[in-house]
Structure 1
Amino acid sequence: MQFSGRRRKILSNPQTELYGHCLQFYVQPPLENITLTEFETFAVERLKLLKTVENLGVSYVKTSEQYSKKLESEFSNLNFPYRAAADDKKVQNGPTEYEKRRKDHISHFILRLAYCQTEDLRRWFIQQEVDLFRYRFNDLLPKHKLEFLHRNNLQYDTISVEEKKALAEKLINSSYAVSGITVEDQDFYKVPFQDALDLVRTRKVYLKAGYVYIPHQDIVTIVLNDFRTRLSKALALTARSLPAVQSDERLQPLLNHLSHAYVGQDYSIQKSVGKISLEQIDSLSVKSYPLCMRQLHQALRENHHLRHGGRMQYGLFLKGIGLTLDQALQFWRSEFIRGKVDADKFDKAYAYSIRHMFGKEGKRTDYTPYSCMKVILSNPPSQGDHHGCPFRHSDPELLKQKLQSYKISPSGINQILELVKGMHYQLACQKYFELTHNIEDSAFSLNHPNQYFIESQKLLGGGREIKREMDAPQRAQENSATRGSTVARETSANPSQDLAEMTEDLDSFFQDA
């Protein structure tokens, strides 16, 4: 790619230059000091933003008008600066707009630290940031787009008038929304084809001798390619610096948690406690369990035992759907003694850990049910284990056989496997929900196994039972999360633990963020 033009002169105030435009390439890291509360709040709110971008990016065509409208609608509920301010210099330079741009800048770099740790995390982060950038760039006014290009020294070389006239017919035939009238009134940029692969792939641009001729309205394609390349390199460099950051005991557990973070409702406190009988569990496992929990329940019934990972994942889920401590002890004891564990051994070796889940032993921490992200990204199952996410950890052929045994239609199985192939595991589970409940659109974004259970019970029971079990404060809590309330108001009051248990507490800490 060729560049021309001089670099802009650096202003006397570095912050004024850094936040001089509502959109940036995030080249310069923040250098100021911030509080841990601000660190946590900024990170979780940007994570909410990226999760929204991910969910809508799979459900809609990313360049469609429907996608843009849906994003705008969803973003309006989030407490985050995602679009340009009004065209008023006083507003742009005012304290409110400055704080928005500062938040955008700092939160991006916090998540860089969290998502540079593995190739999978880097790939996810880059994709969501690129999609967010595309939407924000397209949302800019033409003069703001031009200003952004100048600020980042992206003044691409345009073809001459003579060359444009010579290629006019081919430019009109190959470029979307270019006519005989508009071809004369706009610039075309000649760039190497590898910098505009999206346009080449969709045949929306003229290609000749290794170069593409891009009309001005499609310049976003090469800007995005530049952004993606810069961000990929930056994440690789950030990963090298991780040891220095991880030596900070305040930040290490927070950063580790953010890559597994769940940003939805807290399912550790249910008003349905004691309203589910043990006799109902087999039936509920077929009707209302997500596949991960259905798999665990089936393995427990067949083997009369689960290893530690499975006991933790399934035990906390059962706690979240309403089992009391006494019910849980009875459930696990009755199943284990059918296998190779007698009642005395169960009481000595296993009962303690069950009471520990309910906060009745050890440090008295009331542990929270695992979110989808925690199930997907932590403690992968080994041979003989049954925990984890079937969409993430199962061989595709075995997953297909399992779905067939559950009477999922061939077309439905293909849809699920396509989502799995694209690493959209939560969306694959949501599709499983729709297929097993015979609905077209589940109308919610799935982030938690206990959310799956509650939504299933609402659907199967007409919402009556669940609504009766949820009190007004809990509904207010959900509404608050939807409006994007800050972490400072919503974090739980769990006591701090040692680093080995810190991640568990942080799940609770971020539940309502």
Structure 2
Amino acid sequence: MEFSSRRRKFATTPQMELYGLPLQFYGQPPLENISLAEFETFAVERLKLLKTVENLGVSYVKLSEQYIKKLDFEFKNLNFPYRVDADDRKPQCGPSEYEKRRKDHISHFILRLAYCQTEDLRRWFIQQEVDLLRYRFNDLHPKLKLEFLHKNNLEYDAISIEEKQVLQDKLIDSSYGVSGITVEDQDFYKVPFQDALDLVRTRKVYLKAGYVYIPHQDVVTIVLNDFRTRLSKALALTARSLPAVHSDERLQPLLTHLSHSYLGQDYSIQKNVGKISLEQIDSLSGKSFPLCMRQLHQSLRENHHLRHGGRMQYGLFLKGIGLSLEQALQFWRSEFTRGKVDADKFDKAYAYNIRHMFGKEGKRTDYTPYSCMKVILSNPPSQGDHHGCPFRHSDSELLKQKLQFYKVSPSGISQIMDLVKGMHYQLACQKYFELTHNVEDANFSLNHPNQYFVESQKILGGGKDAKREMVDTPQRSQGNSAFKNSPAPREKAAAPANTNASQDSAEMSEDLDSYFEEV
């Protein structure tokens, strides 16, 4: 596969025809060559957009004024197609708008490759893309809506004036927002009921002889159902081609990191190392640890041992909140020797592992604390394990019991469980943060357990030095992180990826995992 950077001449081409409308169903994959740097940047920025769509969809009523205002800002900020006028169509689409549409097209297909790998990933990707299409379709001028429908073979016939008059009372009674006055001024479409099951289920349309009569403003439901079906089939087909894609050593690490994406603070670089004392850990675990780390700490205290996955997840978290290497060795030695591991065995079997985690052994890699997406999507816990995300991996009844034990109110538990059922695991954790810190709005988007700790310390007024230093550390970009020996991606991709470095990253991860295997 060849990746090259070339200047595109702005002329009438098949791609120009493809981008003739500001919105599409992504039926045709892009055929041009792009650089790895552009590949990274497009993917990261679309992922930011989809995560914003997810957060806003839970926090606000979809298509409400606040929802639209915040999405408008994100579209402008990330330079995606935005509020195109009716006259801004082919061939008037200028170079600037063309580039936005090109980016929209290519970035969608890149994320298809990253998010077709598991059922959970596919489900999340489809939902966010459907919500995104709803917002964009409703924002289109009516003329462009009709052109979009015709281009995608969604041509439904409007009923005649005579039929509308015969069915007028039925249409008024069954259609939301339709009155005797407005029914005469708008089109109604006769559509097979299976194409509008959502409207039938919620009884928002008139159903007769296998057809429903849909007012023009509700035609978006048909568009979304059709898009969801097409995208679901496309992701299944894409999944079959993954072996061929993964054989490309340049793309495989990047696609893996995209699906485990983290777009925030870099918690591997700490200036406040040693400012957290060992005596504070028990207190901090109850006040400022996210639920995943709180359960790991509790299990460690009760069993005086954690298996490989738990040691990795919790050990890197403690490193991220400021525990020094010396403190970490003391902490783990003290706890393990209370169980079945004597001091000599600890020094032989575990001390090297901890020094390796801090970059003092082996390849001297500064390993990064796990992001929420990495905790949720990689290395699921098995029997006897305590790592992972409680909102993703715990049985629902067990999760309720944990929340009750930690004194979360019944109404709060209900809110959290609703988010869990909707597979919004990070938002469920954020709601847990709000409930346990008595705040109505956390005013941040939770993406990392160490971010949870920092934000908690801000509210509680403790750890001011740690807070200041952590905020001053560099930001991670998603793109280059796949090539920087770190599980957490960075925020902006500015340079081409280094293929050798990506191979080193995979090798180092395997090495670290092997060092932590049970003896």
TM-score of the aligned structures, taking structure 2 as reference length: 0.88
Tell me the CA shift for residue 225 of structure 1: 1.1
* Residues 390-416 of structure 1 deviation map (CA, whole Å, 9 limit, x = unaligned): 111111111111111111111111211
Letter in structure 2 aligned against 1:107: S
Contact 1:458-1:466 at 8 Å conserved across structures = no
Instruction: For 1:67-78, list aligned pairs within 5 A.
Output: 67-76=67-76, 78=77
Distance (Å, rounded) in 2 between the aligned partners of 1:318 and 1:335: 14
Contact 1:371-1:449 at 8 Å conserved across structures = yes
1:213 counterpart SS class = strand
1:488 counterpart SS class = coil
* Residues 72-124 of structure 1 deviation map (CA, whole Å, 9 limit, x = unaligned): 24444x41404234544699522221111111101100111111111111111
Distance (Å, rounded) in 2 between the aligned partners of 1:427 and 1:19: 35
Comparing 346-355 with 175-184, which one deviates more in the overlay? 175-184
Letter in structure 2 aligned against 1:28: Q
Distance (Å, rounded) in 2 between the aligned partners of 1:68 and 1:304: 51
Tell me the CA shift for residue 258 of structure 1: 1.4
Contact 1:296-1:314 at 8 Å conserved across structures = yes
Figure out how many residues of one structure are paired with residues of the other and give that number: 489
Distance (Å, rounded) in 2 between the aligned partners of 1:491 and 1:36: 6
Distance (Å, rounded) in 2 between the aligned partners of 1:415 and 1:256: 31
Distance (Å, rounded) in 1 between the aligned partners of 2:36 and 2:470: 33
* Residues 214-247 of structure 1 deviation map (CA, whole Å, 9 limit, x = unaligned): 1111111101111111111111111111111111
Distance (Å, rounded) in 2 between the aligned partners of 1:272 and 1:360: 18
Tell me the CA shift for residue 366 of structure 1: 0.6
Distance (Å, rounded) in 2 between the aligned partners of 1:287 and 1:38: 42
- For residue 414 of structure 2, what is the aligned residue in structure 1? 414
Letter in structure 2 aligned against 1:346: F
The answer to whether the aligner puts 1:79 opposite 2:78 as a matched pair is yes
- For residue 21 of structure 1, what is the aligned residue in structure 2? 21
- For residue 167 of structure 1, what is the aligned residue in structure 2? 167
Distance (Å, rounded) in 2 between the aligned partners of 1:277 and 1:463: 11
- For residue 487 of structure 1, what is the aligned residue in structure 2? 493
Distance (Å, rounded) in 2 between the aligned partners of 1:191 and 1:427: 37
Letter in structure 1 aligned against 2:300: L
Distance (Å, rounded) in 1 between the aligned partners of 2:496 and 2:510: 17
- For residue 509 of structure 1, what is the aligned residue in structure 2? none
- For residue 316 of structure 2, what is the aligned residue in structure 1? 316
Distance (Å, rounded) in 1 between the aligned partners of 2:459 and 2:471: 19
Instruction: For 1:48-59, list aligned pairs within 5 A.
Output: 48-59=48-59
Tell me the CA shift for residue 369 of structure 1: 0.5
Tell me the CA shift for residue 495 of structure 1: 4.6
Distance (Å, rounded) in 2 between the aligned partners of 1:162 and 1:277: 81
| CA distance 1:59–1:100, change in 2 (3 Å) | same
- For residue 205 of structure 1, what is the aligned residue in structure 2? 205
- For residue 264 of structure 2, what is the aligned residue in structure 1? 264
Tell me the CA shift for residue 177 of structure 1: 2.3
Tell me the CA shift for residue 489 of structure 1: 6.7
Distance (Å, rounded) in 2 between the aligned partners of 1:67 and 1:296: 37
Identity %: 82
Tell me the CA shift for residue 199 of structure 1: 2.1
Distance (Å, rounded) in 2 between the aligned partners of 1:401 and 1:31: 52
Contact 2:475-2:491 at 8 Å conserved across structures = no
Contact 2:275-2:466 at 8 Å conserved across structures = no
The answer to whether the aligner puts 1:158 opposite 2:164 as a matched pair is no
Tell me the CA shift for residue 485 of structure 1: 6.5
Instruction: For 1:134-149, list aligned pairs within 5 A.
Output: 134-149=134-149
Distance (Å, rounded) in 1 between the aligned partners of 2:319 and 2:183: 65
* Residues 466-503 of structure 1 deviation map (CA, whole Å, 9 limit, x = unaligned): 5533465648999xxxxx97321799999544464477
Tell me the CA shift for residue 278 of structure 1: 0.7
* Residues 307-335 of structure 1 deviation map (CA, whole Å, 9 limit, x = unaligned): 11001000100111011111111111111
| CA distance 1:477–1:162, change in 2 (3 Å) | closer
TM-score of the aligned structures, taking structure 1 as reference length: 0.89
| CA distance 1:287–1:462, change in 2 (3 Å) | closer
Distance (Å, rounded) in 2 between the aligned partners of 1:422 and 1:471: 31
- For residue 346 of structure 1, what is the aligned residue in structure 2? 346
The answer to whether the aligner puts 1:99 opposite 2:99 as a matched pair is yes
Comparing 283-292 with 392-401, which one deviates more in the overlay? 392-401
Distance (Å, rounded) in 2 between the aligned partners of 1:137 and 1:428: 29
2:414 counterpart SS class = helix
- For residue 425 of structure 2, what is the aligned residue in structure 1? 425
Contact 1:496-1:502 at 8 Å conserved across structures = no
Tell me the CA shift for residue 361 of structure 1: 1.3
2:213 counterpart SS class = strand
| CA distance 1:38–1:198, change in 2 (3 Å) | same
| CA distance 1:17–1:256, change in 2 (3 Å) | same
Instruction: For 1:10-409, list aligned pairs within 5 A.
Output: 13-76=13-76, 78-86=77-85, 87-88=87-88, 93-409=93-409
* Residues 236-276 of structure 1 deviation map (CA, whole Å, 9 limit, x = unaligned): 11111111111111111211221111112211123321111
Letter in structure 1 aligned against 2:355: R
- For residue 439 of structure 1, what is the aligned residue in structure 2? 439
Contact 1:207-1:213 at 8 Å conserved across structures = yes
Letter in structure 2 aligned against 1:194: Q
Contact 2:122-2:235 at 8 Å conserved across structures = yes
Letter in structure 2 aligned against 1:203: R
| CA distance 1:248–1:496, change in 2 (3 Å) | closer
Letter in structure 2 aligned against 1:61: V
Tell me the CA shift for residue 203 of structure 1: 2.7
1:179 counterpart SS class = coil
2:365 counterpart SS class = coil
Letter in structure 1 aligned against 2:166: A
Comparing 279-288 with 92-101, which one deviates more in the overlay? 92-101
Tell me the CA shift for residue 66 of structure 1: 3.4
Contact 2:272-2:465 at 8 Å conserved across structures = no
| CA distance 1:280–1:45, change in 2 (3 Å) | same
Letter in structure 1 aligned against 2:353: S
| CA distance 1:65–1:491, change in 2 (3 Å) | farther
Contact 1:159-1:189 at 8 Å conserved across structures = yes
Contact 1:46-1:80 at 8 Å conserved across structures = no
* Residues 365-388 of structure 1 deviation map (CA, whole Å, 9 limit, x = unaligned): 111110111101100111111100
Letter in structure 2 aligned against 1:84: R
Letter in structure 2 aligned against 1:83: Y
Contact 2:249-2:499 at 8 Å conserved across structures = no
Tell me the CA shift for residue 145 of structure 1: 1.3
| CA distance 1:292–1:504, change in 2 (3 Å) | farther
Distance (Å, rounded) in 2 between the aligned partners of 1:435 and 1:45: 31
In structure 2, runs of 5+ residues without a counterpart are: 1-10, 479-489, 512-519
Contact 2:81-2:97 at 8 Å conserved across structures = no
In structure 1, runs of 5+ residues without a counterpart are: 1-10, 479-483, 506-513
